[in-house]
Amino acid sequence: MNHNNRPLSPHLQVYRLPLTGIVSITHRMTGVMLSFGLFLFVYLVSAIAGGSDSYASMQEVMDIWLFRLMYWGFIYALFFHLVHGVRHLIWDMGKTYEKENLDSLAIKELIASFSLTLFTFIFV
């Protein structure tokens, strides 16, 4: 039996995930990030409730660059999840299912979430 004429199934070297698929996966990842970020939020609130010494030690921890990066990642995840949720509400109304609209909305969604994060970084 000759196996040279068999079709190749799509794999990572051949198949390219569409932008809407990438955005969908990112939406799920940001949901997980938000869940883990709640632990950080609870730590912050408990440090505030713990008094001035507890708050001061929390501030020292939050000044470490890794925690700052996690903080801004949490804010980006929050905005991305919010914007994608609005996109789902639009889909629930039965609109924007055309391929051109799907891709352009995905790009607008990424720009909006990044812009909201940048706005927060600059003004807050």
Instruction: Please tell me what DSSP assigns to residue 72.
Output: H
Q: What is the DSSP string of 39-91?
A: HHHHHHHHHHHT-HHHHHHHHHHHTSHHHHHHHHHHHHHHHHHHHHHHHHHHH
Domain extents in the chain: 19-123
Per-residue pLDDT, 96: 81
pTM of the complete model: 0.80
Collapsed DSSP state (helix, strand, coil) of residue 88 = helix
The identity of residue 78, as a single letter, is: L
Specify the CATH number of the domain 19-123. 1.20.1300.10
pLDDT score of 17: 84
Successive 10-residue mean pLDDT values, the chain, 124 residues:
62 77 92 91 92 93 91 93 92 83 90 96 92
